Amino acid sequence: MPTFEEKLSDYKHQIVEHIGKAIGKETPVSLYEPIKYTMQGGGKRLRPVLLLLAVEALNGDVQAAMPAAVAVELLHNFTLVHDDIMDNDATRRGRATVHEKWDTSVALLAGDGLVALAYQNLLNTRSPHTLRISKLFTSALIDLCEGQALDREFETRSDVSMDEYLDMIRKKTARLLSLCAQMGAILADGTEDQIQALKVYGESLGMAFQIQDDLLDITADPKKLGKDFGSDIRQKKKTFLLVHALHHANARQKQQLLNYLNHEPVQDAEVLHIRDLFNEIGTLQEAVSAVKQYLTLAEDSLNPIEKVHAKTDCLKDLLQLVQGRQA
């Protein structure tokens, strides 16, 4: 009986191997080289792993679900490549981003190619449910675009409410994770109740994951983070932290936050000052607590399906893993 870590590592290796096969072509070089570079950039492969764990939890055929797992990882990487262009981020996972290593046009086209390859793998999933999961996949892609649009619109606003923020990350981050869990359940011939439960599990996990990401931007060890420290603060992103702080600051703190929002560029010292402000306002503690709440929600969503012989141990282990992540 393999441990959870061994299982994860095994799935991750299988996914990486299948991704390699999914990008078999070499030419045109200007299209496939940046695509390979992106897909070989490492990462946790959280999304395809989640899909496979959902299949397994409902006793489905994990190997048959592999093309769908590859598809969600390709789609996720498409969003990273295009988001990095829009955010003008120079590093990702400790390496130069595609538009930085090549140029914007190459990155733009590589992203488009990743979407195409994602659909190619998805539609080749051998299952009576292929059309259904493809429609879900597409609705998630629309949500991803809407979430990214909202994220960018929020950059120039200082009055973003917590509800607006939560709606944005639900689309931009949580939707893809709920899609993975949902697709896994559907491919495993789950009942509608099981599919719905796993959808809620994935979404709650995704909400926790994004708020944690917001936190790690200023609390993680930059070496482990693989991207610029305080990058969200520099870009004035409306993260959980900033939105919470703006709504809970006293008059003096609020003035300091507005000053920061209305001036640019942001210096290193200012990043640290904003972090101190977040701490003072109680925002960091609140974010930690929100992460825990969403993880509890995810765990609770599994209760009804446990009674009908679903094997939810690994899905619970995954929550533990996410809770403890350092980058």
E runs forming strands in the chain: 91-92, 95-96
SS3 230: coil
Work out the burial of residue 28: count CB atoms within 10 Å of its CB; fewer than 13 is exposed, 13-18 middle, 19 or more buried. Answer: exposed
DSSP 241-265: HHHHHHHH--HHHHHHHHHHHHS-S
Q: For residue 31, what are the contacts with CB-CB under 8 A and spacing of at least 6?
A: 109, 110, 113
Beta bridge partners of 96: 91
Among 66, 68, 109, 185, binds a second copy (CB under 8 A): 109
Among 45, 47, 82, 199, binds a second copy (CB under 8 A): 82
Q: What is the DSSP letter of 65?
A: G
Instruction: For a second copy, give the closer residue by CB, 113 or 206.
Output: 113
Backbone angles phi, psi at 230, to 5 degrees: 70, 25
Backbone angles phi, psi at 226, to 5 degrees: 75, 5
Q: How far apart are CA 139 and CA 131, in angstroms?
A: 13
User: Does residue number 170 form part of the binding site for a second copy (CB under 8 A)?
Assistant: no
Q: Which stretch binds a second copy (CB under 8 A): 1-9, 138-146, 248-256, 287-295?
A: 138-146
Binding mask 116-135 for a second copy (x = CB under 8 A): xx-xx--xx-----xx--xx
Name which of residues 253 to 282 contact a second copy (CB under 8 A). Answer: none
Instruction: For a second copy, give the closer residue by CB, 2 or 24.
Output: 24
Contact by Cβ (8 Å): 327, 219: no
The CB-of-82 to a second copy minimum distance in angstroms stands at: 6
Instruction: For a second copy, give the closer residue by CB, 12 or 92.
Output: 92
User: Does residue number 17 form part of the binding site for a second copy (CB under 8 A)?
Assistant: no
Contact by Cβ (8 Å): 256, 277: yes
- Total residues at interface with a second copy (CB under 8 A): 36
Torsion of CA 185, 3, 216, 209, to 10 degrees: 10
Q: Which stretch binds a second copy (CB under 8 A): 16-24, 145-153, 204-212, 246-254?
A: 145-153
Binding mask 31-70 for a second copy (x = CB under 8 A): x---------------------------------------
Beta bridge partners of 92: 95
Among 6, 96, 142, 224, binds a second copy (CB under 8 A): 142
Among 9, 63, 139, 255, binds a second copy (CB under 8 A): 139
Helix (H) / strand (E) element for 143: namely: helix 130-155
The CB-of-160 to a second copy minimum distance in angstroms stands at: 13
User: Does residue number 321 form part of the binding site for a second copy (CB under 8 A)?
Assistant: no
Q: Give residues in contact with a second copy (CB under 8 A).
A: 28-31, 82, 85-86, 104-105, 108-109, 111-113, 115-117, 119-120, 123-124, 130-131, 134-135, 138-139, 141-142, 145-146, 148-150, 152-153
